[in-house]
Amino acid sequence: MQNGALRVYPLQDKDLSVNTLKEYWSFNVHDNDYGQIQGICSSYDDRFLITCGGDGNIFTFNILSPEDVHKELKAKIPSPRSGLEKEKATEDIEDPNAYNIEEVKQKKEYERIMKEAEEKKNKKREELIALRHEFLFLLQKNQELPKHMQLHREQYEMDHRIFEELDRQTAQRIQLVQKELAWEHEKHLIGLQKLRNQFQDSLEFDTVVVHAIQSNHQISTYRLLAMSERYYQDKERPSWKRTVLKRAWKQAEKREIVREISHARTFEGEAEKLKTSEVRKPTTHYIGSKHEQIRRIVEKSDKVKAKIMKRKAEWDELYKSKPSDDYENPKDVEDIREAQENMGCYKLKTAPNYRVPKHKRMNTEKKVMQLTSLEVLIHKRKVNMNKEIMSLRDLKISIIDKIKCLVQELKSIQTALDLSERLPLPPIPQLYPDEVPEKKFEYDSDVLLKFKEEQEAKAKLQEQLEGSPSSCAFRHGFLQAPSIKEIDPMAQAAGARPMKIASSVVTEQRKVFEIEKAEPTEMELEISKREKIKNLYLQETLIKKIKALVINFDAELRFLRHKKLKLDVQMKSADLRYITWYEELLILKNLEKHETLLQGRVDTLISEQEAMRSKLNSYLAQMEDRKSEIVKLQECEKALYANFQASLGENNEFAHFLTKVLKKKIKCMEKKEVGREADEEDENEEENDDESSLGIDEENSGSEDEVFDDSLCPKNCNEALFRNTMQLRQKRLDIEKALTEEKKVAANLRKKYNALAKKAKVVETSLDTAEMELETFQWEKQQRLNELYVVVPLKLHQVEYLVNGEMPSDFSQALVFTNQSLEYLQKRMVDLHNEKIMQREIYKKAQEQHKQLVQDKKEMDINIRRLEEKCSHLMMKKFGRLVDFEAVQAHSVNIRMEELEVQIMEKEYVHSQELQEWEERILDLRQQLMKLTKENTSKLQQLNRFCLEKQQLETKLDSLKNDLGVEFQGTRTTDIKEKARLESRLKHMARNTALLREEINLLSRKDGCLREELALLSRKDGCLFLQPLSPQDSETPTETFPVLTP
C-alpha cells in the first residue's frame, strides 16, 4: 500500500492457505508518490469499503456478493492476476524535448491546417494570376486602339463601392491587428524608452567624426555624459552677496516709502494750516504776531547757541584729530598689510619652518569644491569644442547641398556643349555614417523589414544547425505572409510588359511627328557661338566655385583639428591634475576627523574668549560709571562744606562749635561694613588723590574725646544758622552713606573683573596651545600631501636647472616656478628699490616739516598768551570783572512767560466767543417760549368752548331722562344696550374733562417744573399727548399739549 494501490484477494470459505494469496485484483486509485494508504475499514453492514490516503483523498467501494454480481453487473470481471510484483515499473520520460501524445496530436493537427491553408493560398494565387493576365491583355488591346476610342483608367471601375468596401475591410483588419499587438507594442516601447534613458539620454554629446573632403584628415567630438543635477543646483544657489544686496535694496525701498508718506503728511498739514489761517478772524492777528515775535526770538537764541556749539564741536574735533605719540598712518598700515598678504611666502612647503596660511588651509569641503569646479571647467571646454565641431559638420552638410545644386546646374549647362568641350564633373562629397551617428536610432518600415529578414535568416540558419526545424517552427514560429517578391514574380513580369509596350508606342509616335530641321543662318550661328562661350565660362566658374568650397572646408577642418590637439593636451594635463587632487582628497578624508576635533576646540575657545571679553568690557563700563558717581558725590560733599563756610561768614564766634556739630559722626548699623571697606579704599589710587582737606579735618575731629550736646542751640547763637547746620549734617550723612555704597559696589566689580581676567588669561593660553597644535597638524597634513607625485609637463627650453652645463637625470633638487611669479618677483625687487629711495626722500622732507611746525607752534603759543592777557585787561577796564561772552550771547528773554501771556490771550478770546454763542442761544429760547405761550392760550380758549358745549349737552340729557319710560312700559334689550352705551360715553367725556382741567392747571403755572410734569403725560383712553423724544432732539425747550382723539 506504499504506492497507493488497493489489492483484493479472492478467498474460498474452507481454503485459507498462503497459496491462495497469489492471485488478486489491484486498484490504483490513490497517488502513486504521495498517496500512501493511511487507513482502511468497512461499514457496519459490510456493504462498503472506505480507504484514505496521504494525498488527502477518501474513496468508497461497493462490496457485492456473488449473486449481486451476476444480477447487476453486465460487464465481465477479469480474472485475478498473479506475479505483478516481478514486473518492472514503466520509466518516466525525463527529456524536456521529448514529445508526449498531446504534442504529437497538436503537431499533426497544425501540419494539416497549414497544408490546407497552403492549398487554399495556391488556388487563390492561381486565380489572381489568371485575372491579372486577362486584365493586362485587355489593357494591351485598349492601347492598340486609336486614341479617341481608348478607355480611360477610371472607366474600368464597374462599381466604386467594391474598392470602398475593400478599403474598409482592410482598415478594420489593420485596426484589429493593431489591437491584438497593442500590448506587445507598448511593451517594446517601454523597453525602448528604458534603453534610451539608460544609454542615450545620459549622453550629452556622442562621438561624431567629421572627415575632410579631399584629404584624410578628420576630427571627432568628445563623448560627454550629461552633468548631474547637483552641479546646476550649486550654480543656481544664491550667494551671500546677492542676499545682502537684496536686503539693502528692500531697506532702501522701505525708507523711500516712509519718506514719501512723511512728505505727504507734512504737505497735508501745511494745507490745513493755510485753510485755517484763511478762516481766522481779524481778532487773531495780534496773537499771531505775538507767536511770530516769540518764534523769532527763539530762532535768534537757537542760532547763537548753535553757533557756540558748532565752535565747541570744531575745537573738540580738532583736539580729537590731534595724533598721539604712537600714531601710525592708516594708509601705511594698509599698504603693509596688503604687501604681507599679496607678496606671498616663497618658502618651500617641505621646509620645517613652513607654516600654512589660514586662507590656504585645505579641507575636504574645499577640495570637493575644487574638484567640482575643475570638472565643470573641463566639461565646459569640451562642450564648446563639440559645438564648434558640430557647426563644422553642419557646414559640410550645407556645402554638400550647394555642390549638388551647382553640379545640377553644371549638368544643365553641359547639355548645350559638345562632348569634347565638357569638363569632368567634380565628385559630390558624401556623408560618412560616423558623421551622423544619430541616424542609427532613426528607422522606418523598410529598415524594420530588412531587420526582420535578417532575423529570419539567422533563425533558419540556427534551425539547420540544430537539426530540428519542424519542432522549433511549431513551438517558436508564427504564421508569416509571404512577401510580394516570393509570391508574384510572374505578376511583376506581367506588369512590366504593358509598360514596355506603352513606351514603344510613345517612341513610334515621336518618330512619326518629328519635323525635319532647317539649316541655321549666320545670325543663329553667331548667337550659338556666343552661347557656347558663355556656357564654357559658366562651366569653368562653377567648377572653380565647387573647388573653392571644398578647399575652404578642408582648411577650416585642419585649423579646428590643430585647435583640438592643443585642447587635448590641456585636457590630459587637467585629467592628471584631477587624479592628483582626488588622491589629496582621500588623504584629507582620512585626516578629517582629527582636524575637525582640533578646529572645534579652537572655535570653542574663541567663542569663550569673545564672551569673556564682552563681560570684561561690561564690567569696565560699570566700574567707570561707579567712579563717575563717586566723583560726583565727592564734589557734592565739597560743595556742602563750601556752603557751610559761606553760611558761617567771617569771625563767627560759634564757628568751632558748628563745625563740630556738622562733622559729628552718628552711629549706625552699617559702621562695621564701612570699616571693612576701608582697606579697599586704599587700593584705589584715584580716590586717595581726590580726598579733600575737609575729610582729614573730620577724622581729626572725630578722634577728639570731647563730649558736647548738639541737641540744643547755645546762647547768643543764631537759631536759623543752627538749624541750617543740622540740615547740612543730615545731607552730609546721606552723601557719606551713598558714597560708602558706591565704593562697595565698585570693590565688588573690581573683584569680579580680576577673577574674570584670570580666567581670560587661562583661556588665552589654552587657545594659543590649541592653535599651535592645529598649526602642527596642518604642517603634518601638508607633508602628507607633499608625498604625492604631481605631473608637470615641461618643454626643454623651460628647464634651466643645469649641472656643469648639462641636464641632470635627477630633478629632486629642482624647483618648478611659473614665469608669471618669477616676473612678478623681479618686478617687485625693482619696485622696492625705487620705493626705498622715494621713502628716504619723503622722510627727509617730513623731518624738515616737523622742525618748522614745532617752531610755528611755539610762536602761536606766545601769540595766544599775549592776546588772552590783552582780552582780560580790556574786560577788567570796561566791566570791572571777567565776563563770559558765550553766556551773554546765549541769554535771551523769558520765553516761558511770553508763551503764557499768549495762552492767556487765546483763552480770553475763546471765552468771549463762547459767551456770544450762549447769548444767541438764550435769545432763541425766549422766542420759542413766546411762541409756545401763544399756542397754550389758543388751547385754553378751545377748552372753554368745549366746557360750554358740555353744559349744553348735560341740560339736554337731564330733560331726556324725565320723559323716558312713559311711552313704553317694561324693559327691552335695545333700551338696555342704548343705556349702557350712553353711560360709557358719559364716563369717557368725564375722564376727558378731568384731564383737561388738570392740564389747564398745569398750563396756568409758569415755573420751571412745567417741562418735567408735561413729560410724564402719555396716551390714556384715546387722548394722545405730544412730547419730544429726548432732550437732545432740540436745543430749545418745548411744551407738550394734548390732542383729543375720537
Mean pLDDT of 986-994: 85
Of the candidate ranges 150-164, 167-181, 587-601, the one whose mean pLDDT is the lowest: 150-164
- Which of 627, 620, 618 has the alpha carbon at shortest distance from 686? 627
Banded pLDDT at 689 (limits 50, 70, 90):
very low
- On the question of pLDDT at 1026 being above 70, the answer is no
Task: Provide the pLDDT for residue 88.
Answer: 62
Tell which wins on pLDDT, 918 or 46.
918
- Grid coordinates of 431: 556623408
Give the whole-angstrom CA distance, residue 753 versus residue 760.
Answer: 10
Tell which wins on pLDDT, 701 or 858.
858
- Which of 1023, 956, 1018 has the alpha carbon at shortest distance from 989? 1023
Which residues touch 388 (CB under 8 Å, ≥6 apart)?
Answer: 560, 563
Give the whole-angstrom CA distance, residue 312 versus residue 318.
Answer: 10
Mean pLDDT of 418-423: 87
Find the helix or strand (DSSP H, E) in which 48 lies.
strand 48-53
Tell which wins on pLDDT, 128 or 720.
128
Tell which wins on pLDDT, 76 or 187.
187
pLDDT averaged over the chain? 77
Owner of C-alpha cell 462490496: 63
Tell which wins on pLDDT, 970 or 323.
323
Give the whole-angstrom CA distance, residue 156 versus residue 135.
Answer: 10
pLDDT in tens, 500-516: 433 443 344 444 334 44
Of the candidate ranges 351-365, 660-674, 731-745, 862-876, the one whose mean pLDDT is the lowest: 660-674
CB 700 within 8 A of CB 605: no
CB 539 within 8 A of CB 407: no
Cα→Cα distances 496→292, 478, 510, 529, 656, Å = 122, 33, 22, 44, 158
Mean pLDDT of 232-242: 46
Task: Provide the pLDDT for residue 568.
Answer: 93
Among 121-125, 287-291, 478-482, 803-807, name the most confident range: 121-125
Give the whole-angstrom CA distance, residue 743 versus residue 749.
Answer: 10
Helix (H, G, I), strand (E, B) or coil at 567: helix
Mean pLDDT of 40-44: 87
Helix (H, G, I), strand (E, B) or coil at 668: coil
What DSSP line would sit under 941-966, residue for residue? Answer: HHHHHHHHHHHHHHHHHHHHHHHTTS
SS (HEC) of 903-946: HHHHHHHHHHHHHHHHHHHHHHHHHHHHHHHHHHHHHHHHHHHH
pLDDT in tens, 744-777: 999 999 999 999 999 999 999 999 999 999 988 9
Per the rule left: phi > 0, alpha: psi between -120 and 50, beta: everything else, 432 is beta
- Grid coordinates of 520: 541655321
Task: Provide the pLDDT for residue 706.
Answer: 44
Task: Provide the pLDDT for residue 556.
Answer: 94
pLDDT in tens, 64-80: 776 665 555 555 566 66
Give the whole-angstrom CA distance, residue 560 versus residue 826.
Answer: 38
Which residues touch 474 (CB under 8 Å, ≥6 apart)?
Answer: 106, 107, 110
Tell which wins on pLDDT, 352 or 232.
352
Which residues touch 511 (CB under 8 Å, ≥6 apart)?
Answer: none
Sign of CA dihedral 873, 879, 884, 889: negative
Mean pLDDT of 668-673: 43
- On the question of pLDDT at 778 being above 60, the answer is yes
Task: Provide the pLDDT for residue 254.
Answer: 62
Task: Provide the pLDDT for residue 709.
Answer: 64
CB 354 within 8 A of CB 347: yes
Banded pLDDT at 551 (limits 50, 70, 90):
very high
- On the question of pLDDT at 676 being above 60, the answer is no
Task: Provide the pLDDT for residue 506.
Answer: 38
417: which DSSP letter?
S
Give the whole-angstrom CA distance, residue 992 versus residue 623.
Answer: 96
CB-neighbour burial class of residue 561 (10 A; exposed 0-12, middle 13-18, buried 19+): middle
Share of the chain above pLDDT 90, in %: 24
Give the whole-angstrom CA distance, residue 35 versus residue 30.
Answer: 5
Give the whole-angstrom CA distance, residue 622 versus residue 751.
Answer: 13
- On the question of pLDDT at 475 being above 50, the answer is no
Owner of C-alpha cell 577640495: 367
pTM given for the model = 0.50
Helix (H, G, I), strand (E, B) or coil at 546: helix
Which residues touch 614 (CB under 8 Å, ≥6 apart)?
Answer: none
pLDDT in tens, 921-930: 898 998 888 8
- On the question of pLDDT at 736 being above 50, the answer is yes
Mean pLDDT of 971-991: 80
- Grid coordinates of 9: 484477494
Tell which wins on pLDDT, 880 or 711.
880
CB 626 within 8 A of CB 745: yes
Mean pLDDT of 172-192: 91
Tell which wins on pLDDT, 177 or 1016.
177
pLDDT in tens, 798-849: 888 888 878 888 877 788 878 888 888 888 889 889 989 998 999 999 999 9
- On the question of pLDDT at 374 being above 70, the answer is yes
- On the question of pLDDT at 288 being above 80, the answer is no
Task: Provide the pLDDT for residue 257.
Answer: 63
Task: Provide the pLDDT for residue 604.
Answer: 93
Task: Provide the pLDDT for residue 674.
Answer: 40
Banded pLDDT at 913 (limits 50, 70, 90):
confident
Tell which wins on pLDDT, 291 or 681.
291
> What one-letter code names the amino acid at 487?
I
Radius of gyration of the chain (CA): 66
Task: Provide the pLDDT for residue 671.
Answer: 41
Task: Provide the pLDDT for residue 278.
Answer: 44
Task: Provide the pLDDT for residue 513.
Answer: 38
CB-neighbour burial class of residue 826 (10 A; exposed 0-12, middle 13-18, buried 19+): exposed
CB 425 within 8 A of CB 547: no
Phi/psi of residue 1042, each to 5°?
-80, 150
Banded pLDDT at 643 (limits 50, 70, 90):
confident
Banded pLDDT at 476 (limits 50, 70, 90):
very low
Task: Provide the pLDDT for residue 1044.
Answer: 35
